[in-house]
Amino acid sequence: MLNIDIWDILWTVINLLIFFLLLRRFLFKPVVEMMERREQMIQDDLDSAKAAKEESEELKAKYEAELADAHKEAVKIANTAKKRAEAESAEIIADAHKEAESLISNAQEAIERDRQEAIEAARSEIAGLAVMAASRVIAKNIDEDSNREFAEQLLAEVGADND
């Protein structure tokens, strides 16, 4: 049968207690500390990841704002360039109109000069014709009525050419 000895039970209980204290001191405590360090490290990594995510979202918002500002600036520059081009175009057109008016004025002056020269040439020719006619009249001794008729005819011809 079974023999139960108190001293054996007592020694077994004492051995179990010593073994439990040793395990607690050398195994459970280091394992718990290691798990706490690991938990803290994981928590730190999560916190730094969250901070990095927040920072990246801030940078993204900042870059989007800068991109919007750059877009507005580009539109402004394009509008300024367009206005400047329109102003230069208007100035070029105005200069072209002035130059055309100047050319027309110069052409009209040249036409007037040529007209005056033609009138002077015609007068000179008429004077030459008058001298020639007078010399013919003198050379031809005609009666007074013929001379008068010839002079009127000559004046009519000269008047028709002058108009």
Higher pLDDT, 141 or 11: 11
- Note whether 115 and 125 are within 8 A (CB): no
pLDDT at 18: 95
Mean pLDDT of the chain: 86
The residue behind tokens 């033609």 is: 118
Q: Residue 154 class from Cβ within 10 Å (0-12 exposed, 13-18 middle, 19+ buried)?
A: middle
* Domain ranges within the chain, ordered by starting residue: 7-162
Instruction: Provide CB contacts within 8 A for 147, sequence distance 6+.
Output: 137
Higher pLDDT, 78 or 141: 78
- Note whether 124 and 162 are within 8 A (CB): no
CA distances from 123 to 110, 128, 154 (A): 20, 8, 14
Instruction: Name the percent of the chain lying above pLDDT 70.
Output: 88
At residue 137, does pLDDT exceed 70?
no
Cα 85-87-88 angle, rounded to 5 deg: 65
At residue 163, does pLDDT exceed 70?
no
Over residues 76-113, the pLDDT tens digits come to 999 999 999 999 999 999 999 999 999 999 999 999 99
Instruction: Name the percent of the chain lying above pLDDT 90.
Output: 60
In single-letter form, the type of residue at position 149 comes to: E
Over residues 31-56, the pLDDT tens digits come to 889 999 999 999 999 999 999 999 99
Long-range contacts of 122-130 (CB under 8 A, 24+ apart): 122/161, 122/162, 126/158, 126/161, 126/162, 129/154, 129/158, 130/154, 130/158
pLDDT at 29: 85
Across the range 115-127, mean pLDDT stands at 85
- Alpha-carbon distance of 41 to 45, in angstroms, equals 6
pLDDT at 1: 59
pLDDT at 30: 85
